[in-house]
Amino acid sequence: MISSPYLLHLGAAVDPLAVKTARGVAQWRPRSCLGQRRLPGCQVSLGLEDVTIAEAVRRGARTMIIGEANAGGVLSPAIIPEILAALDAGLDVASGLHQRMADVPALRAAALRAGRTLFDVRHPPQDLGVGNGVPRAGRRLLTVGADCSMGKMYTALALEQALRARGVPADFRATGQTGILIAGDGVAVDAVVADFISGAAERVSPARHDGGWDLIEGQGSLFHPSYAGVSLGLLHGSQPDALVLCHEPGRPHMRGVPGYPVPGLAETLARNLEAARRTNPDVVAVGVAFNTSGLSRAEAARLCAEASAELNLPCQDPVIDGVDLIVENLLSCFEASPSCASAGR
């Protein structure tokens, strides 16, 4: 478990996209972020106070998060002395880069010397077991999509926030590196050996007995020729009681593979429900989350209305509309509403 409060390190980033991981943490866990650290030349900001490593420690920081990503996901020469300084000052350090901090001898030695932890969150734990499909207590919702990068993480986080606002126990369960840094825990399933993906999903969302919900971050798409295996493993291991379908209207083809068109909503939902029933025969769909950032508000409203009518489910853009209608449907479904069961299947 990654300890907060966090110091978010933006390095010398000049592109806002390079700090999207840090931005996600600042947006969804603002109370856990006490400041940002920027090197000379940095041209982006999260709107947090700029603090030194020493000042962050004095204010109670527990972990420095490497919030800048570069081409190749490697540790830049400028970040190495910053990590060393953080370790020596008493901070743990977390990174979502491809290159492991623990593989750098100087960093590994410094962490051992200081008794601190290096969290390489993109790299999964080595003691994962295979999935067993045994039913477990609790309620789980999984976000699924017609393609990659359609808002599955954002939707799951928005659902967590909306449920908590209603007094319903709810926890976001992370399956990607940015999500892990937001949640402080999780497994990056795209780095898990195939046989263990469903077991990783079971580990991410264990049994719970408080009547609350686990909101599990989906990955990939059953229809994507590159990433379908990850999506199927999550569907089986999550044993979801509910699905929310995420979609970006107007996307011309599957991401990175122009020869593959994006499937329709009804087909996408039917295939995900079919796969999910392998480990939870009672799974239902409870909503549709659209990413309408590239559309006019009138066009977005029209397409949401059409999707809602087609699938008999509430459809919202979580960024613009929130997810209240989806949450209302979710809660009514699990108050033993037979109409929901027929619509969501």
Instruction: Report pLDDT digits (tens) over 309-322.
Output: 999 999 999 999 99
Domains plus CATH for the chain? Answer: 6-120 (3.40.50.720), 139-344 (3.40.50.300)
pLDDT at 128 over 50: yes
Overall pTM > 0.85: yes
Q: What is the pLDDT of residue 37?
A: 96
pLDDT at 18 over 90: no
CA separation for the pair 208, 137 (Å, rounded): 6
Q: What is the pLDDT of residue 341?
A: 46
pLDDT band at 71 (very low <50, low <70, confident <90, very high): low
Map residue 22 onto helix, strand or coil.
helix
Q: Assess contact for 35 and 48: CB atoms under 8 A.
A: yes
Q: How many residues does the chain have?
A: 345
The number of beta carbons lying within 10 Å of the beta carbon of residue 113 is 10
Q: What is the pLDDT of residue 203?
A: 95
Residue, of 42 and 344, whose pLDDT is higher: 42
pLDDT tens digits, one per residue of 158-211: 999 999 999 999 999 999 999 999 999 999 998 899 999 999 999 999 999 999
pLDDT at 135 over 70: yes
Element containing residue 94 per DSSP (H, E): strand 92-95
Residue, of 121 and 339, whose pLDDT is higher: 121
CA separation for the pair 45, 71 (Å, rounded): 20
| Dihedral sign computed on CA atoms, order 190, 17, 149, 291 | positive
Q: What is the pLDDT of residue 342?
A: 45
For the chain, the maximum distance between any two Cα atoms, rounded to a whole number of angstroms, is 61
Say which residue the tokens 């991981």 belong to. 21
